[in-house]
Structure formats: C-alpha cells, structure tokens
Amino acid sequence: MMTNHGAIAPRISIVHLWTLALALFVGLASLVGADEKSDKGDGKWISLFNGKDLDGWKVKIAGHELGDNYKNTYRVENGILRVCYDQYKQFDGKFGHLFYKDKFSHYILRVEYRFVGEQTPGAPDWAFRNSGVMIHSQSPESMRKDQDFPVSIEVQFLGGNGKDERSTANLCTPGTHVVMNGKLITPHVTNSRSRTYHGDQWVTVTVEVRGNSAIKHIVEGETVLEYQNLQLDESDPDAKKLIKDGDKMLHEGYICLQAESHPVEFRKVEILPLEK
C-alpha cells in the first residue's frame, strides 16, 4: 500500500501543476482581453447615419451659407446617403462637405462607399470618381463662405476608370501636414498601397484614429497607410487662423463626407469610440 500511495502522489502533483498553469494562462489571457476591451470603450459601434435623413449633419457647400444644401446635393434615398448632381447643369466649383455635429479624437471610423453614374459637366478631371472622408477637420462654422475644402486630414476615396491602377484611401492634406516614417510630409497627396477598385462596387474603408499619435488607413481589412503628428500648415491662410497660442498640433476635430462632382453613395458611416 505504501508503494501504491507513493506512485499516486507524483501524478496528483503533476495534475495540480498543470491545472495551476492552465488557470494562470487563462487569467493572463483575461487580463489582456480586458485591456483590449477597455481600449475600445464600451465596444459598441455607433451609426452616425440613421438611414432616414440628414439629422445630426450640417451641409457646407462652397459659395453658400452653412446649412444651404444647394440643389439637394446631399440626400437620403432608400436607406442610402447619396451625393447627387441630377439638378446641376454645371459643377461650377461647388465642392461640398457634410459635417457630423460632434468632434472626435480617439476612434475607429468605418465607411462603406461606391461611385455611380457619370461625373458632373464642368468638373476638373482629377475629381473623376473622387470623394473622401475628412477627419480632425475644422468646424463648418469656422469656414469661409467661398472656401473649397476645410482644413483637415482627408482620407481620399478614388475609383478606377476600368483599366488604369488607382489606389484608394490615399492621404490628402488641405492646410495640414503629417509625419510619416519620421519625416514631415508636405506634398498634398500621398498614395496608399491599396489595390484599385473599378466599377460601382462597394468598398469598405476603416480609419483608426488615436488623437495625434497614430492614424491607420485600412481598406477591406488591409492596412494601406500609416502616419502620425497631424499638424496645421502655418503657411496656409485658413490653417493659420486656427493656430492657438502657438500650438499647431491637431488632436481632434470633425468628420465630414465630401462632394467633389462625381455621384457617390454611402451605405454605412459608423464609429467605435476608443479610450484615450
């Protein structure tokens, strides 16, 4: 009997050790999961677009007062937020932006868009199948009446022409600069690494925004561009007005959807707030 007890004891110890190790592993995993959860706030996506109307949004079209939805450019039809030009004869430089009412700093933004139809007559060639979402934007109230674009960081949406390569989720910087790979980026456009999306297909672009410290552009689940240190361009007259007490860094701002002469539809505009 003594021999049997001696043989059983080591097995019990090993079982206990494995059980303890497993419990420790699960505990650590739970802590990691808790950290990830807390970094994403309550973990709930919030739809900024209600699928019915433009409630919560403000229209600003170049040459027009805030709130003047010139020729019904922005509208909601069949649950889709649409940029339309069927009431235009000529584009005439009527660049438009639809601003959400609240400012944001740390969040993940998800937008589903597609280009449709033909470009409006009189529009510039570069605006063919061209739209975007602006982040860390100045308020619509602070824009000049004839200002074409808000001072902001633009996540540019581009559609293909059916034959040539043309990336989407590029970076445009109206009145701003960013830092990429340790270097200040001053050109207005920086192309992403995305593939080209031809035709009228829906495309999902996700933007991970962590204040001023890190921005990621993600297309269909693939990260295509990263940068940080968003800042106002002191040489830009509109941006210069926004610099307060010498601080030109951008930590927060408004989100807005562009209207740049080509009809575009937005099926989803939703945000996941992140803790700072």
Dist. CA 112–CA 210, nearest whole Å: 21
Dist. CA 85–CA 57, nearest whole Å: 19
In this structure, the answer to whether residues 80 and 189 fall within a common structural domain is yes
Dist. CA 63–CA 276, nearest whole Å: 37
Confidence category of residue 42, pLDDT binned at 50, 70, 90 = low
In this structure, the answer to whether residues 15 and 110 fall within a common structural domain is no
Q: What pTM, to 2 d.p., does this model score?
A: 0.84
Q: Which of 264, 46, 80, 52 is nearest to 158 (CA)?
A: 264
In this structure, the answer to whether residues 264 and 139 fall within a common structural domain is yes
In this structure, the answer to whether residues 124 and 243 fall within a common structural domain is yes
In this structure, the answer to whether residues 20 and 116 fall within a common structural domain is no
In this structure, the answer to whether residues 180 and 265 fall within a common structural domain is yes
pLDDT for residue 28 is more than 90: no
Dist. CA 83–CA 81, nearest whole Å: 7
DSSP for residue 17: H
The H-or-E segment that residue 241 falls in is none
Neighbour tally for 231: CB within 10 Å: 20
In this structure, the answer to whether residues 171 and 234 fall within a common structural domain is yes
Supply the mean pLDDT for the chain.
89
Structure tokens at 93: 């430089």
Split into its structural domains, the chain has a count of: 2
As beta bridge partners, residue 272 has: 108
Structure tokens at 105: 């700093």
Q: What are phi and psi of 10, to 5 degrees?
A: -60, -35
Structure tokens at 37: 């959860």
In this structure, the answer to whether residues 93 and 17 fall within a common structural domain is no
Confidence category of residue 34, pLDDT binned at 50, 70, 90 = very low
pLDDT of residue 257: 98
In this structure, the answer to whether residues 208 and 264 fall within a common structural domain is yes
pLDDT for residue 26 is more than 70: no
pLDDT in tens, 124-168: 999 999 999 999 999 999 999 999 999 999 999 999 999 999 999
Q: For residue 191, how far is the Cα from the chain centroid?
A: 15
In this structure, the answer to whether residues 252 and 235 fall within a common structural domain is yes
In this structure, the answer to whether residues 153 and 210 fall within a common structural domain is yes
Contact 151, 137 (CB under 8 A): yes
Domain at 258, CATH number: 2.60.120.560
pLDDT of residue 29: 41
Contact 168, 192 (CB under 8 A): yes
Give residue 25's domain range: 1-39
pLDDT for residue 13 is more than 70: no
pLDDT for residue 33 is more than 90: no
User: Which residue type occupies 243?
Assistant: I
Structure tokens at 113: 């868009």
In this structure, the answer to whether residues 133 and 34 fall within a common structural domain is no
Confidence category of residue 5, pLDDT binned at 50, 70, 90 = very low
